Amino acid sequence: MFSMAIPWPDPQRDLAKMPLAVGLAVAQSLAEWSVDQPKVKWPNDVYIEDRKVCGILIESSTRKDQGRSEEYSIIGIGINCRVDFENGPEALRSSAISLHQAATRTVAASISPESVLVAVLSQWLQLRQRILDDPDWLDREWPQWSWLDGRWVEVVSGAVSRVGIAKGIDASGALRLEDRFGRTHTILSGTVRAI
C-alpha cells in the first residue's frame, strides 16, 4: 500500500520493537472496519479471522547529512483492502483475507485504499507518540493484540527450529517460547508458523 521512512531517537532500544509497534498500529486502525478484532502475528503481520490481511517489511539504514549520521527505517506496509480471493486457489483463500471480506456489508462499501491509508497513518502517529512518552506502553498493550500468544508454534531461525507455546514478548520485543520441557527461549528473529 505504501512505504514511509522514519527516524528513531534511540535505535539501539527502539529498533527491535518497531515491527511490533507498526503491526499494532495497523491492527488498531483496521479494527474500526473489521467484525473480528485484527491481531498481530509476531513480529509484524496482521491477521483477521486467522488469515493474513497485512504484511509489513522494515529495512534499517543510516543517512549521513552534513557530517551527522541518522538512523532511520523504511517501513513498507501492504494491506489487502478490496482484493477478491474467492476465485483463487484454496491455499490462498484459507490463508489470506481482504479487509472488505472481514467487514459488515454496509461498512465494506466505505473501505478504500485512501481511507485505510489515512486511518493507518493517523493511528501510527498516535501510537508512536504514546511509545515515546511511555516506553512500557507497548508491553502492556501487546497481549490483547497478539495472534500467537498461547498457540503452539514452530520458529525457524537459520538452521535452528524450535517448537513450543508462544508466551508473549520480553522487554526487548523478542518472542518468548516455552518448549515442552518448560524451558523458555527468547526468539529475536525467525519464521513463525502456528502448528
What pLDDT digit, counting tens, does each position of 78-137 carry? 999 999 898 889 999 999 999 999 998 888 888 999 999 999 999 999 998 998 899 899
Partners of 49 in the β-ladder: none
Average confidence (pLDDT) over 12-23: 80
HSE-CB for 43 with a 13 A CA cutoff? 21
The pLDDT assigned to 64 comes to 77
Q: Which fold has domain 2-145?
A: BirA Bifunctional Protein; domain 2 (3.30.930)
pLDDT tens string 117-132: 999 999 999 998 998 8
Residues 6+ apart with CB under 8 A from 41: 23, 47, 52, 147, 148, 192
Asked if 174 and 186 touch (Cβ cutoff 8 Å), the reply is yes
Average confidence (pLDDT) over 63-79: 84
Q: Residue 151 above 90 pLDDT?
A: yes
Q: Which CATH architecture has domain 152-194?
A: Roll (2.30)
Cα–Cα dist 121/22, whole Å? 10
Q: Residue 62 above 90 pLDDT?
A: no
The pLDDT assigned to 15 comes to 67
* Among 8-17, 123-132, 133-142, the least confident range: 8-17
Q: Residue 29 above 80 pLDDT?
A: yes
In our burial notation (b when 16+ CB lie closer than 10 A, e otherwise), range 9-19 reads eebeebbbbbb
Q: Residue 63 above 60 pLDDT?
A: yes
- Supply the pTM of this predicted model: 0.90
Q: Count CB neighbours of 49 within 10 A.
A: 14
Q: Residue 9 above 70 pLDDT?
A: no
Quote the radius of gyration of the chain (alpha carbons, Å): 17
Q: Residue 191 above 80 pLDDT?
A: yes
The pLDDT assigned to 175 comes to 95
Residues 6+ apart with CB under 8 A from 54: 23, 26, 30, 45, 46, 77, 78, 79, 80
Cα–Cα dist 172/169, whole Å? 8
Task: Kindly provide the residue ranges of all beta strands, DSSP E only, lying in 24-172, ordered along the sequence.
Answer: 39-41, 45-48, 51-65, 68-79, 152-157, 160-169
Residue spans of the domains in the chain: they are: 2-145, 152-194
